[in-house]
């Protein structure tokens, strides 16, 4: 009878450890996913625009007008 009780407790301990491992892995995976989404949704940090319009580069002027600015070797293209 004592052996049966010890075997049952041992089996319960194994089940508890496996359950804990699965729950911990799920919590870690969800945390990583939520943090990843939060970082993706954060606005991109960019340098503050110069105080005076004459100090602004062409790229700054186009980005102030709105829309994404694509810089290439040849020109600044605004979509």
pTM of the model: 0.46
Range of the domain at 32: 1-42
**pLDDT at site 77:** 55
Q: How many domains does the chain have?
A: 2
Q: Tell me how far apart the terminal alpha carbons of the chain are, to the nearest angstrom.
A: 79
Q: Write out the E strands in the chain.
A: 69-71, 76-78
Residues 66 and 36 in one domain: no
**pLDDT at site 9:** 83
Q: Counting beta carbons within 10 angstroms of the beta carbon of residue 49, is it exposed (0 to 12), middle (13 to 18) or buried (19 or more)?
A: middle
Tens-binned pLDDT, residue by residue, of the chain (79 aa):
778 787 888 899 999 999 999 999 999 999 999 998 888 777 665 555 555 656 666 666 666 655 565 655 555 555 5
Q: How far apart are CA 67 and CA 61, in angstroms?
A: 11
Strands 69-71 and 76-78: antiparallel
Count the helices and strands in the chain (H runs, E runs): 2, 2
Residues 24 and 59 in one domain: no
């Amino acid at each position: 009878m004592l052996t049966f009780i010890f075997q049952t407790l041992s089996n319960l301990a194994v089940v508890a450890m496996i359950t804990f491992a699965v729950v911990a892995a799920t919590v870690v995976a969800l945390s990583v996913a939520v943090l990843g989404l939060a970082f993706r949704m954060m606005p991109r940090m960019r340098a503050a625009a110069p105080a005076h319009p004459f100090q602004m580069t062409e790229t700054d002027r186009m980005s102030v007008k709105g829309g994404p600015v694509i810089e290439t070797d040849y020109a600044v293209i605004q979509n």
